[in-house]
Amino acid sequence: MHRDTSHRYGEEALVTVDGASATGSETLDGAIAEAIEQHWQLGKDASVRRFGRGMNSTTWLVSTATHTWGAKAVPAPAAAQFDAGLTVAVRLEAAGLLAGAPCPTMAGAVSVPVAGHQLALMRHVAGRQLNCADQEEQRAWGATLARAHALLQTSPVPLGVQTWHWVDPEAPHLDVEPWIRPAVQAAVERMHALECGMPLTHGILHADPAPEAFLVNGEGQVAIIDWGGVTHGPLLYDIASAQLYAGSPSTFAVLLAGYLEVLPAIRQELCALPDFLRFRWAVQADYFARRIRCHDLTGLASQSENEVGLLAAGRFFANT
C-alpha cells in the first residue's frame, strides 16, 4: 500500500494524492521535509514526496532540478541498528561496491532524529531490480552477496549491529498458532547444536538479501542496498535467506554457484544449509507471529497480509 504525498519547501501545507486532511502521516512528512532542509540544506527548490512504506521503514524521494536522493526513516527504537547499516553501506561504497550509502549531514552525521524517527538521506542508486528469471542475474545475485561478505570480513563490527541470534523460543507471541512454538524451538535447538558442533564462518550480514535489495544499473553493475537489518552472524544465514527468496531449486543453484565463485571456502559449510534454511523459516514465523500479536500493520493494508507471511512459514514446516 502506498500513500504517496508531496511537499515542496516553502509551501504552507502538504498536498496529498488521496485528498486526505492533515493526519499523523502528513505531520511526519512535514517534519521530514523540514529536517532535510535544516540538516542537508539542499535548497528551497527541493521537493520531498512520499515514496512508500516498507515493513520496517518509511521512504521519500527527494529531488532538485539536477539531483535525486532517497530519504528513509525508521522508528526511534531502531536507530542504532539503522545507523550501523548506514555505516556498513559507507564502507562498502568506499571499497567499490554500490550499497546506497547515506549523504552526511552538514555536521557529518549519517542520520538525525526527527519526530520519533531516525532519518537518513541516501544517494540515489539508479537501476532496476535484479531479474530473478535471468540466469546471469541469478549468478550476479549470489556473487554480489558474496562480494559484500568478503569486503566486510575484515571490517570492524559497527555499534548497533544486531547480535546473533535474536529468536526467543519462549516469547509470548509464539502462541498465536499452536504449531509455531514447537517449530521455532526445534529450529533454535538445532542451530545451537550446529554452532557447538562445527566451525562456521561469521561476518557482517545483510540479513534480508531479497531480490529487491539488488539493483542493476545501466553499466551492468549490481548494487546491494537496504542494510537496515544488518546483523553479525554465520554467513550461511544470508545464503539461507537468499535460498528462501529464490524459491525454485534451479534459481538457487545458479545463485549459489555465483556466491561460490567469490567465496569458495564456504562450500565446506554447506552441509549445514538445510538447518539454516529451517532456522530462516523460523525467523519468518517469529516475525509475523509478533506482528499479528501486536496488531502491527506497518507497511501493510490489513492483518491478512501478516497472516499470509505466517502461513508461508507454516507450509514449510508442514512439508519438512
The CATH number of the structural domain formed by 5-123 is 3.30.200.20
| Domains 5-123 and 128-318 are alike in CATH topology | no
Other C-beta atoms within 10 Å of 88: how many? 24
Phi, psi of 280, deg, nearest 5: -65, -40
Query: What is the arrangement of strands in the sheet containing 222-224, beginning at the earlier edge strand?
Result: 128-129, 214-216, 222-224
Give CA–CA dist 112/119, Å, rounded: 5
All three cell numbers of 180: 509455531
Domain extents in the chain:
5-123, 128-318
Closest CA to 7 of 29, 24, 40, 27: 29
Residue found under cell 562456521: 200
User: pLDDT 10s digit of each residue in the chain, 320 long?
Assistant: 222 222 221 222 222 222 333 345 778 899 999 999 999 999 888 899 998 767 788 999 999 989 999 999 999 999 999 999 999 999 999 999 999 999 999 999 999 999 999 999 998 888 899 999 999 999 999 999 999 999 999 899 999 999 999 999 999 999 999 999 999 999 999 999 999 999 999 999 999 999 999 999 988 899 999 999 999 999 999 999 999 999 999 999 999 999 999 999 999 999 999 999 999 999 999 999 999 999 988 777 889 999 999 999 999 999 98
Q: Which CATH superfamily is domain 128-318 in?
A: Aminoglycoside phosphotransferase (APH), C-terminal lobe (3.90.1200.10)
Instruction: Write phi, then psi, for 182 (nearest 5 degrees).
Output: -60, -40
The cell numbers describing 245, all together, are 527468496
| pLDDT score recorded for residue 27 | 85
